[in-house]
Chains A and B, each alone.
Chain A
């Protein structure tokens, strides 16, 4: 039903071959320029993280209890705010454009022993190895297949009519807010598949090892952000602790917004398991395309989104270095126009707006008409550039 039926099997295969050609061309041309990009980004992240933490500590010298001319709430809050923002930016860069992409093996080709998907650990309470399973395997293989891709609503939210309604979803305007603020914690618990445990499809014993892994990671992250760095501030440790917590929440909100715009805006397609039986690589490509949405924006925005603003390109080629997504996006889009396939892209305001509206409407037992509406709109959007 939601699979495009206007293309013949042969046309879909041809579409797949054209995408393979783009992939091969880019992968073949990876080189020094890409290496410089990721190394520079890593250096920027580390500089920002360290700088932010020192600015936060330095702000304590401007507390009103000191009697120099610059002391006062205004200067203190400005400076600690600046430090917090720097730290939040660092965490965003580290999670999105660096961590997410390194863990996708996008940089393994460099064979740099420091930047390998097998050994990278990121600044998040979710242990890398568990995330690689829930994300690289479950989500990227089964993208938007109801009942298979556990990222569809993250087991908490109803984001498509195709999910059966349950009174629990009435709460979802609230639960989505909680999830946004604490996103990294939801991600950390994601691979435990707690709802399958509740449904007795997964035994409690299977949780022991992953919970230990999460525990260790949470301890290290907590020690750093909520004990060690605050301890440097002595009696004023609460200020530093609060700044670090705010930085973590800012990062959580941002990643939530970007990631929810990847698969839940209006016009996105979901699939039933029966629809993907015997799926070829080319049909897999089509599913990735129909199940993903891009966000338009400037260069800085793309970097801060980890280039997940090019969610379509990322889903077509998950292990391609992310700095190449903006370069191939026009080609992928032109290809979609040629094959009259939708290419779902819009501004952040529109994509997030429609995501929020979906979450609000689908909390009710009425399905709403987000899917049909959206399809018409994105087909128009793709047609406009043709």
Chain B
């Protein structure tokens, strides 16, 4: 444990060393030697890859300087360059916090239209360096009071729960756990063998797997979540704290069920929103919301957003008004805009757009 004054001294020395590197920081130069030594941003090296199923891969990451141990169930944002562009996606950590080699694992399923997930699953070899956020999220088990959890997971929704199960196993005491896991086929269960082994070793870990696509269409409905099914697998579900992660449809069904049972506070959900907004190529105009100023106006889809902002009484920074100087760059929070120069659409949340050459294509939210 370092005392405050020693920490103070250390940070003063770090500041002094940074002055040698101005306008950069010493960390930028350290990163040349080893990307994991940087302190201005957190990075992680891929030390191992392991294929869980045909389209899901576990990446073992060694986080660099500045990483703080996660809590089971938390997620990280992972940044990776693909085709020259930096993308970030959120993944649950699937390893236990107690893991002693300082590494974490994320398990990524290649989504059909997921350019980033496909890249992570197929094209990121060991040795690659990814950027990493700190661990975030409150989808975690309470530390103080013991709980009797019911886990409901589907597909790659298993990942945060896996971290909890592994954490229990490493600490040697699995409490009374009921786990209901959905997967399309028996050969498609991420962590299938490990779950089976856990169930065999720990009598109090009660695992039920349901394969939703095994026996054709007719049977499929019966194998998805329903009230009767829950009653059958876990009769005391009302008395348990439920932690669920999976596709939107499953989570919606659970929410309805728990709400109708008058018990919504015992249901804890982890959801990942689809990162892409609906692209509306023929949309012309819409409602433009300027979040910082709290204004909202209608726009006709031909007027550039700088003009729209000015007509609404705002005065965002601007320069050339023709798309060359980037003085009016602003963050697109949601919605879709059309570049008036070439008709190209941008609909990625958090994209930087030039207000003076973009028009609204549908409803738009801007950080202006």
Given A136-B319, A137-B327, answer yes or no on A112-B81 (Cβ-Cβ < 8 Å): yes
CA distance A224 to B22 in the complex (A): 7
Q: Write the residues of chain B forming the contact surface with A, with a CB cutoff of 8 angstroms.
A: 16, 19-24, 28-29, 32, 40-41, 79, 81-87, 131, 319-320, 322, 324-327, 329, 341-342, 351-352
For A47, give the chain B residue with the smallest CB separation.
B32
Residues in chain B near residue A229, CB distance under 8 A: 20
Give Cα A20 to B79, complex, Å.
32
Q: Is the CB of B22 within 8 A of A220?
A: yes
- Is the CB of A104 closer than 8 A to any CB of chain B? yes
With A20-B342, A133-B319 already in contact, the answer to whether A141 and B84 are too (CB < 8 A) is no
Contact of A318 among B29, B86, B324 (CB under 8 A): B324
User: In the bound complex, what is the Cα–Cα distance between A112 and B19 (angstroms)?
Assistant: 24
Q: Pick the contact of A32: B20, B29, B84, B87 (CB < 8 A).
A: B84
In Å, the complex CA distance between A33 and B327 comes to 27
A-B contact pairs, 8 of them (CB 8 A): A43-B32, A110-B84, A114-B40, A116-B352, A136-B326, A220-B19, A224-B19, A224-B20
Assess whether A223 is in contact with B320, with CB atoms less than 8 Å apart.
Answer: no
> Complex: how many Å from CA A206 to CA B325?
22
* Shortest beta-carbon distance from A291 to chain B in Å: 14
Among A14-37, those with CB < 8 Å from B are 20, 24, 30-35
Assess A118 versus B86: contact at CB under 8 Å? Given A110-B81, A141-B324.
no
Shortest C-beta distance, B131 to chain A (Å), equals 8
Q: Are A140 and B23 in contact (CB under 8 A)?
A: no
Are B325 and A137 in contact (CB-based, < 8 A)? yes
**Given B19, B20, B86, which contacts A113 in the complex, CB threshold below 8 Å?**
B86
B210 → chain A closest CB, angstroms: 40
A50 close to B (CB within 8 Å): yes
A36: nearest residue on chain B (CB-CB)?
B84
Q: Please tell me if the beta carbons of B32 and A122 are within 8 angstroms of each other in the complex.
A: no
Query: Which of A50, A132, A223 makes the CB contact (< 8 A) with B325?
Result: A132
Is the CB of A117 closer than 8 A to any CB of chain B? yes
Chain A positions 114 through 132: 1 when the CB is less than 8 Å from some CB of chain B, otherwise 0: 1011100111000000001
Contact between chains at A140 and B324 (CB < 8 Å): yes
A50 / chain B contacts, CB cutoff of 8 Å: 29, 32
- The answer to whether A281 has its CB under 8 Å from any CB of chain B is yes
- Which single residue of chain B is at the shortest CB-CB distance from A24? B342
In-complex Cβ contact of A136 among B81, B83, B87, B327 (8 A): B327
Which 5 interchain pairs have the tightest Cβ spacing?
Answer: A137-B319, A35-B84, A136-B325, A121-B23, A141-B320
The reply to whether A112 and B86 contact each other, CB–CB distance below 8 Å, is: yes
Q: Is there an interface contact between B86 and A111, defined as CB atoms closer than 8 Å?
A: yes
A228 touches B325 (CB 8 A): no
A97 touches B (CB below 8 Å): no
Cα distance A133–B319 when bound, in Å?
Answer: 8
Residues of chain A lying within 8 A (CB to CB) of residue B16: 228
* In the assembled complex, A357 has its CB within 8 A of some CB on chain B: no
Are B81 and A32 closer than 8 Å at their CB atoms?
A: yes
How many chain A residues touch the partner (CB < 8 A)?
Answer: 43
Q: Which residues of A contact B326 (CB under 8 A)?
A: 104-105, 108, 117, 132, 136, 319
From known contacts A111-B85, A132-B325, infer whether A137 and B19 are also in contact, taking CB-CB under 8 Å. Answer: no
- Mask of A347-378 contacts with B, CB within 8 angstroms, 1/0: 00000000000000000000000000000000
Q: Is the pair B29, A223 in contact by a Cβ cutoff of 8 Å? A: no
| Docked complex Cα distance between A136 and B324 (Å) | 7
| A71 CA / B64 CA spacing, docked (Å) | 43
For the complex, give the distance between the alpha carbons of A140 and B32 in Å. Answer: 34
Partner of B84, one of A34, A133, A224: A34
* Closest-CB distance, A90 to chain B (whole angstroms): 12
Q: B134 CB to closest chain A CB, in angstroms? A: 15
- Give chain A's interface residues, CB within 8 Å of chain B: 20, 24, 30-35, 43, 46-47, 50, 104-105, 108-114, 116-118, 121-123, 132-133, 136-137, 140-141, 220-221, 223-224, 228-229, 281, 284, 318-319
By beta carbon, the residue of chain B nearest A231 is B20
Which B residues are CB-close (under 8 A) to A132?
325-327
Cα–Cα, bound, A136→B328 (Å)? 12
* Contact partners of B79 in chain A: CB under 8 A: 113
Docked CA distance A169–B41 (Å):
51
- With A133-B319, A137-B325 given, name 8 new contacts (CB 8 A): A46-B28, A46-B29, A111-B87, A113-B79, A123-B23, A137-B327, A224-B19, A224-B22
Q: Which residues of A contact B41 (CB under 8 A)?
A: 113-114
Task: Evaluate contact between B329 and A31: CB separation under 8 angstroms.
Answer: no
In the bound complex, do residue B325 and residue A30 qualify as a contact, i.e. CB atoms below 8 Å apart? no
Residues of A within 8 A of B341 (CB): 20
- Taking the nearest CB of chain B, how far is it from the CB of A253, in angstroms? 22
| Cα–Cα distance between A113 and B32 once the two chains are bound (Å) | 17
Evaluate contact between A108 and B352: CB separation under 8 angstroms. Answer: yes
Assess A223 versus B32: contact at CB under 8 Å? Given A33-B84, A284-B322: no
Assess A31 versus B22: contact at CB under 8 Å? Given A136-B324, A137-B325, A281-B322: no
Among B21, B32, B84, max chain A CB count under 10 A is at B84
Asked if residues A35 and B352 are in contact (CB atoms below 8 Å), the reply is: no
Bound-complex Cα distance A224 to B24 (A): 11
Query: How far, in angstroms, from A118 to B317 measured CA to CA in the complex?
Result: 13
What's the Cα separation between A223 and B81 when bound, in Å? Answer: 36
Q: Considering the chains assembled together, what is the distance between the CA atoms of A47 and B31 in angstroms?
A: 11
Smallest CB-CB separation from B348: which chain A residue?
A111
Given A46-B28, A114-B41, A136-B325, also A141-B319 (CB < 8 A): yes
Distance to closest chain B CB from A237 (angstroms): 14
CA distance A117 to B354 in the complex (A): 13
A118 touches B19 (CB 8 A): no
- The residue on B at minimum CB distance from A107 is B84
| Separation of A325 and B21 alpha carbons in the complex (Å) | 31
Known contacts A43-B32, A108-B326, A140-B324; is-contact A31 B319 (Cβ 8 Å): no
Bound-state CA distance A121–B28 (Å) is 13
Please give, as numbers and ranges, the residues of chain B lying within 8 Å of A122 by CB-CB distance. Answer: 23
Residues of A with C-beta under 8 A to B325: 132, 136-137, 140-141, 318
Residue numbers in B under 8 Å from A281 (CB-CB): 322
- Interfacial chain A residues near B352, Cβ < 8 Å: 108, 111, 116, 118
CA distance A31 to B342 in the complex (A): 19
Q: How far is the CA of A281 from the CA of B340 in the complex (A)?
A: 13
- Contact call B22/A223, Cβ cutoff below 8 A: yes
Cα A136 to Cα B16 with chains together (Å): 33
Chain A: minimal CB distance from B28 (Å): 6
Q: Which residue of A lies closest to B81 (CB)?
A: A35
Report the minimum CB–CB distance from A144 to chain B (whole Å). Answer: 15
Complex Cα distance, B329 from A50, in Å, reads 34
